[in-house]
Amino acid sequence: MVQYKSLQYSVLANAASHIHFIDDSSQMQELALTYYSHALRGLSELLPKTSQLENHNGVLMSVMLLYLHGCMGRGTYTDIPRHVNAAIRILTLRLLRRPQSISRPFDRLAVESVLYQIFLVTTGSWSDPIELDYSFDVDFWLQAEKLLANSTLFPDRSMSFNSPVLGIPFTLFRLTLETKHLYQTPSPPDPRIRARFMSKLENWEGIVLSDQDLDCLGPNEKPNCAYQIYKDAAYLYILNTSMLVQQLCGAESIRGPPRAHPSESWQVNKASQILRDHQNDEAWARCFIGNWPVYTLGFFMSTPEDIALVRNDLQRRWDLMKFSQVFRFRRDLEVTWAKRGYPT
C-alpha cells in the first residue's frame, strides 16, 4: 500500500468518513475530504508514470475506493461517475480485450463491484433532484455479464459463494435498470415493449409465487443465513420490477416516483412478509444488496403497517452500517410519504 499513496489515502478517506458517521465528528468529515483530495492528487501523479495501467491492482483498487466514498460517505456523491468510468476503462483493458474468463478472485470482485456501482449510479433516486452526469455503457455491461457467466472460480460451490459482491443473478440488475428507464421515459411505452417486459417477468414471478430457489448449493455446502438473505433480496428486486411493469401497463403516462400499489396485491403481501421475517435479523440489515429494493418498495406502500416495516428496515440499516446512501434513501421516502399524507 505504501507504494501507492493514492491507495493509502483512499482507504483513509473511507475510514475517516465512517468514523464521522459513527461519532458525528465534523473534524473527521474534514479529514475524510482531505484524504480524498490527497488520493485524487496521488492518482493524477501516478497515472503518467505508470505503464500497463490495467495490470496494477493498486490503481484499480484506489479508483474503486473513491467511488465507494461517494456512495457511502458525504460530500463526493457527484464524483462517482468519473470514478466509475475510470474503473470501466481499466477493466476493459485488463479483461474484456483478452480471453473471456476470470482466473483471479480480485478480478471477479472488481467486475462485480463496478457493475453494482453502475446499477446504483444509473438508478439514482426516484425523486431526489440531484442528477448524476453518467451515461449507461450497455456494451460494457453486456460484456461484463458474459465474462461473469463464463467465470466460475469455485465450480463445486453455489452462485452466491462465487459472487463476492452481487450474490444474486446479475441479469436481475439489468432487468431492473431497463424497467426503471422505461418507467421514467416521458412518452408512454410502446405496447409491444410492455408486452416484452411482461414476458420477461413471467418466469421470475413464477419463481417467487412458487417459492423456488434461485441458487443451488454445492455438494459440500450447508444452508446458512446468507443463502436465505440473498434469496429474499432477489425476490424484492423481482417484486419491485413486477409492480413497476404492472403500473406501466395500467397508465398512459407516468411522472415521478412509483405510485402506491394496492395493499392487498400479492406483490405487496409477499414483500411485507419478507420484511417481517427479517425484522430482528442483523445480517439482513447489513446486506447492502437489499438497500435499493427496500427503498423502492417504500414507494409502493400505503398502509401504516407496511410503511412502518420499510421505515424500520431502513433505520436498522442506518444504525448498523451508517452508509450515506441509506440516509439519502430514507430522506427521499420521508419526503414522498409526507407529500402523500402518510404518517410520519
pLDDT tens track of the chain, all 344 residues? Answer: 445 789 999 999 999 999 999 998 899 999 999 999 999 999 988 777 666 777 789 999 999 999 999 999 999 999 999 999 999 999 998 888 776 788 899 999 999 999 999 999 999 999 876 677 788 999 999 999 999 999 988 888 888 889 999 999 999 999 999 999 888 877 777 788 878 888 889 999 999 999 999 988 888 887 777 889 999 999 999 999 999 999 988 765 567 899 999 999 999 999 999 999 999 999 999 999 999 999 999 999 999 999 999 999 999 999 999 999 999 999 999 999 999 998 77
Residue 206: how many CA atoms within 13 Å on its side-chain side? 6
Question: Buried (b) or exposed (e) across 276-290, using 16+ Cβ within 10 A?
Answer: eebeebeebbebbbb
CA distances from 131 to 124, 202, 304 (A): 8, 32, 31
- Predicted confidence at residue 148, as pLDDT, reads 94
- The amino acid at 331: R
Residue 325 lies in a domain: yes
Q: Report d(CA 344, CA 22) in Å as an integer.
A: 25
State how many domains the chain has.
Answer: 1
- Judge whether 277 lies within some domain: yes
Q: What is the distance between the alpha carbons of residues 91 and 107, in angstroms, rounded to a whole number?
A: 9
At which residue does the C-alpha cell 410492455 appear?
A: 194
Residue 184 lies in a domain: yes
Q: Is residue 218 part of a domain?
A: yes
Let me know if residue 53 belongs to a domain. Answer: no
Predicted pLDDT of residue 50 = 63
Say what the pLDDT of residue 2 is: 44
d(CA 30, CA 314): 26
* Residue 241, CA distances (Å) to 173, 231, 305 in order: 10, 16, 22
Q: Tell me if 145 sits within 8 A of 174, measured CB to CB.
A: yes
Count CB neighbours of 291 within 10 A: 22
Q: What's the pLDDT score for residue 1?
A: 46
In a domain, 319, yes or no: yes
The reported pLDDT for the residue numbered 251 is: 64
Distance CA 150, CA 152 (A): 6
Residue 247 to residue 241: CA distance in whole angstroms: 10
- 144 assigned to some structural domain: no
Residue 289 belongs to a domain: yes
Length in residues, the chain:
344
> Rounded to whole angstroms, how far apart are CA atoms 208 and 210?
5
Q: Supply the range of the domain harboring residue 188.
A: 166-344
